[in-house]
Chain A
Amino acid sequence: MPILCAKGVTHLYNKGTPSQSKAIYDINVEIEEGELVGLIGHTGSGKSTLVQHFNGILKPDEGQIIVDGKDIWEDKKATREARFKVGLCFQYPEYQLFEETVYKDISFGPKNMGLSEDEINKRVLLAAEYVGLKKELLEKSPFDLSGGEKRRAAIAGVIAMQPKVLILDEPTAGLDPKGRDKILDMIKSYRERTGSTVLLVSHSMEDVAKIATKVLVMNNSRVEMYGTVDEVYSHSEELRKIGLNIPQVSKVFELLKQNGCDLGSAYTVEKAAEIILRRGGVGV
């Protein structure tokens, strides 16, 4: 049974006014438990609108959202449950920090769930560890942290609810390459350790290739492709047509192939290096 499921979901902007437009249209997608899905598409393709449906922030104008086998708009209780089952971390989450200390801010979500003090304490410490926040930072004011630390503290605030599905909307936006790698590594190890499902919204094909198991491509308010990284990235022509560029290293491999040196395909620098080294061993 898929953990997340959208059935014919349509969402309209400015409903009932002359400027009505479709933000997302007839979305049908099933996400299995334990996957790390990369959701890509260029700006305005409907990525952020779609993910805000999964935890009931937005209500579909048509269609159903099913989380863990339950329609989240069935009743009020189901909607509230979806908020905790699906943890959504918005773009630039550091702007949601508000408490006096980082510890208190991370515990905001668990507190809203009505957990005991002990359980909250455990979850906060665990979440801080997942995102790599040092213990001494927890007693600081969130406004005294650096940009990267703020972002990780905000992500910890969502992780502390221990959602079955973690959705991150462009978690690496505006970070330097080092900060970006740190976040991506963190997401990868979080999934490996907890076994939870992760949905990563991004428009970097490189980032997605690095850690995702499956890729969901959106274009023009619709789902364009959904499959494993290899399946999706092999359609480089189609991807280019909708304004997405395959990673640079894949392009190099493509050109090599066109020039008579078929090395297969690679989507990350690490994988490419591995292939070349292996080839080097037998002597090219």
Chain B
Amino acid sequence: MIKDITIGQYFIGNSILHRLDARMKIILTLAFIVSIFICKSFPALALMVVFTFAVVLISKVPVKMVLKSIKPIAIIVAFTSILNIFYVKGGTPLIDWKFIHITSNGVFTALFMAVRIVCLVVISSMLTYTTTPTMLTDAIEKLLSPLKIFKIPVSTLAMMMTLALRFIPTLIDEIDRITNAQKARGANLDDGNFIERIKALVPIIVPLFVSSIRRAYELADAMDCRCYTGGPGRTRMKQMKLHVRDFIALGVVALLIAGIIVLNIYFKAVLVR
């Protein structure tokens, strides 16, 4: 059951999206998220959806995996849609019965918000699908490096992130092992009410913490032995370089944002704020 969790779910591939510079990908993803929130009319939204589809197609990540990333947020989407339908007023009334008042504006807003959230999640999951966790942390370190002026230890933070990601599979194995050992002593993890189930986790969590702390000490010693001193001045084996394709991607996203602004001006806004 625990093996189904896919954090840092990288999908091996060699598409143009995989080869884009990770720094550029992060910036473009952020730009896309901003543009989602500036788009106000349906034609602009349609442009976003088309762009999202294009990105998925280019990445060659199976649609099934993309859908998997939407599944966890399905409840949130449904919840916000329902709230929007009932609470947004204005426009033509569609249903007006006792305490239920549904207006056209409510339905449009609900639809608009749902599409927005789905696009947002799909595009950000495309970032993790096409970028390895190490590339991501490297890129984050590079992008945050201006913060060094404020004495923020950026490279140490990046190292922490890399280590955290590296140990997720190890911890999952560890949980499996401890769970089996406690099951062998008759621990009952599947039955009982909510409180009982939480109590049943104690025999798993305590050994997990103990071994994690032990592991952390061992890792610190191992890093010491290899003369890791942290801080600035560490060089990388893989240098990040911007290629022509990165600038083309930048251009495409710039065009997208320009298109959205134009469409926002020429068409009526759906969202009334």
Chain A residues close to B by CB (< 8 Å): 52, 55, 57, 80, 83-84, 87-90, 93, 95-98, 108-109, 112-113, 143, 157-158, 161
Contacts and interface: CB of A to CB of B under 8 A. Distances in A.
Contacts of B151: none
Contacts of A96: 178, 181-182, 185, 203, 207
B78 to A, nearest CB: 30
A113 B202 CA distance: 18
B183 A57 contact: yes
A55 B203 contact: no
Nearest to B211: A95
A100 to B, nearest CB: 10
Contacts of A108: 182, 185, 187, 203
Nearest to A158: B185
Given A95-B178, A95-B211, A158 B184 contact: yes
B180 interface: yes
Contact of B188 (A57, A88, A89, A112): A112
B62 interface: no
Nearest to A87: B184
20 contacts: A52-B180, A83-B183, A83-B184, A83-B186, A88-B184, A95-B178, A95-B207, A95-B210, A95-B211, A96-B181, A97-B207, A98-B203, A98-B206, A98-B207, A98-B210, A108-B185, A108-B187, A112-B187, A143-B210, A161-B186
Those 5 A-B pairs whose CB atoms lie nearest each other, nearest first? A112-B186, A98-B206, A96-B181, A109-B185, A88-B184
A171 B204 CA distance: 21
Interface of B is mostly: helix
B9 to A, nearest CB: 15
Given A90-B181, A157-B185, 15 more contacts: A57-B183, A87-B184, A88-B184, A93-B181, A95-B211, A96-B178, A96-B182, A97-B207, A98-B207, A98-B210, A108-B185, A108-B203, A158-B184, A158-B185, A161-B186
B148 interface: no
Nearest to A90: B181
Contacts, number: 55
B177 interface: yes
A96 B182 CA distance: 7
Given A98-B202, A98-B206, A112 B180 contact: no
A88 B204 CA distance: 17
A12 to B, nearest CB: 15
A112 B204 CA distance: 15
Interface residues of B, number: 18
A242 B135 CA distance: 43
A274 to B, nearest CB: 39
Task: With a 10 A CB-CB cut-off, give which of A57, A89, A112, A113 has the most chain B CB atoms.
Answer: A112
A84 B187 CA distance: 11
A57 B184 contact: yes
Contacts of B210: 95, 98, 143
B181 A109 contact: no
Interface in B193-217: 202-204, 206-207, 210-211
A109 B186 contact: yes
A158 B185 CA distance: 6
A143 B183 CA distance: 21
Nearest to B187: A112
A112 B188 CA distance: 8
A57 B203 CA distance: 17
Contacts of A143: 210
A93 B181 CA distance: 8
A83 B183 CA distance: 8
Contacts of B177: 90, 95
A107 to B, nearest CB: 10
Contacts of A52: 180
Interface string B132-164: 000000000000000000000000000000000
Task: With a 10 A CB-CB cut-off, give which of A87, A89, A95, A161 has the most chain B CB atoms.
Answer: A95
A61 B52 CA distance: 42
A98 B187 CA distance: 13
A112 B178 CA distance: 16
Contacts of B181: 90, 93, 95-96
Contacts of B185: 83, 96, 108-109, 112, 157-158, 161
A217 B188 CA distance: 33
Nearest to B190: A76
Contact of A57 (B180, B204, B211): B180
A28 to B, nearest CB: 24
A280 B249 CA distance: 88
B207 A84 contact: no
A221 to B, nearest CB: 20
A161 B177 CA distance: 20
Nearest to A91: B177
Contacts of B182: 96, 108
A18 B206 CA distance: 36
Interface string B218-256: 000000000000000000000000000000000000000
